[in-house]
Amino acid sequence: MTDNTRASARESSALRQVLNDYIATYQARQDFAFFLSFYADDIQLEDMIYGFAVKDKQALAEFFNWSAGNVEILDGEQTYTLSEVILDEQQRRAVIRGTYVRFEYEGREMGPWRFTTVLHFNPDNKITYQQDWINYRPRSVTDGGSNLNYPEN
C-alpha cells in the first residue's frame, strides 16, 4: 500500500465515521450544538417538499431549532430509523433513507414520515449541502412553502 493509498483510506474512513456520528447525533436529538458542528458555515439546505431553503448555518439552526415546539418522540428513543445508507467516498456524497418515527409537535401527533436525504461533504468532512425529501403528513404541514423547482426561490 502506497502512502497516497493509505492517506486516502484514512480520509474515507474518517468520512464514514463522521457520517455515522452525524446519524447517531441526529437520531438521539440531544446535543444541538454538536449536531450543528457537522455543518459548514455556508451550508445550503433544500427541503423539497416543505418548500424551504437555507443558505448558511445560522438559518439552518433557526430551521432545525430543537428547543422549539416541545417535540416528544412517541415510538422509542430515536427520531428516525434507517433503511439505507449509501456513501460515495470519492464524490463525498451520502444518501440516507429511513422513516421519522411518530412524534408529538406542539401537541399534535405527526409521523411516521418516510424520507430521503442527500448530503454533500467538503474536504474537512463538513456538510455543505443537504437536500431533504420527506413525506410530510398531513399535507397542511407544507402549506405556504416555496416552489423550489425554480432557482430564484
Q: State the number of CA atoms in the 13 A half-sphere of 146 facing the CB.
A: 11
Segment 44-53, tens digit of pLDDT: 999 998 889 9
What are the helix and strand counts (H, E) for the chain? 3, 9
pTM of the model: 0.84
Contact 25, 34 (CB under 8 A): yes
Segment 44-88, tens digit of pLDDT: 999 998 889 999 999 999 999 988 767 888 988 899 999 999 999
Cβ count within 10 A of residue 6:
10
Residues of the chain with pLDDT under 70: 1-12, 69, 138-153
User: What integer pLDDT is reported at residue 21 of this predicted model?
Assistant: 98
H or E element, residue 121: strand 113-121
Residue type (1 letter), 97: R
User: What integer pLDDT is reported at residue 77 of this predicted model?
Assistant: 82
Q: Which CATH number fits domain 3-142: 3.60.20.10, 3.10.450.50, 3.50.50.60, 3.40.190.10?
A: 3.10.450.50
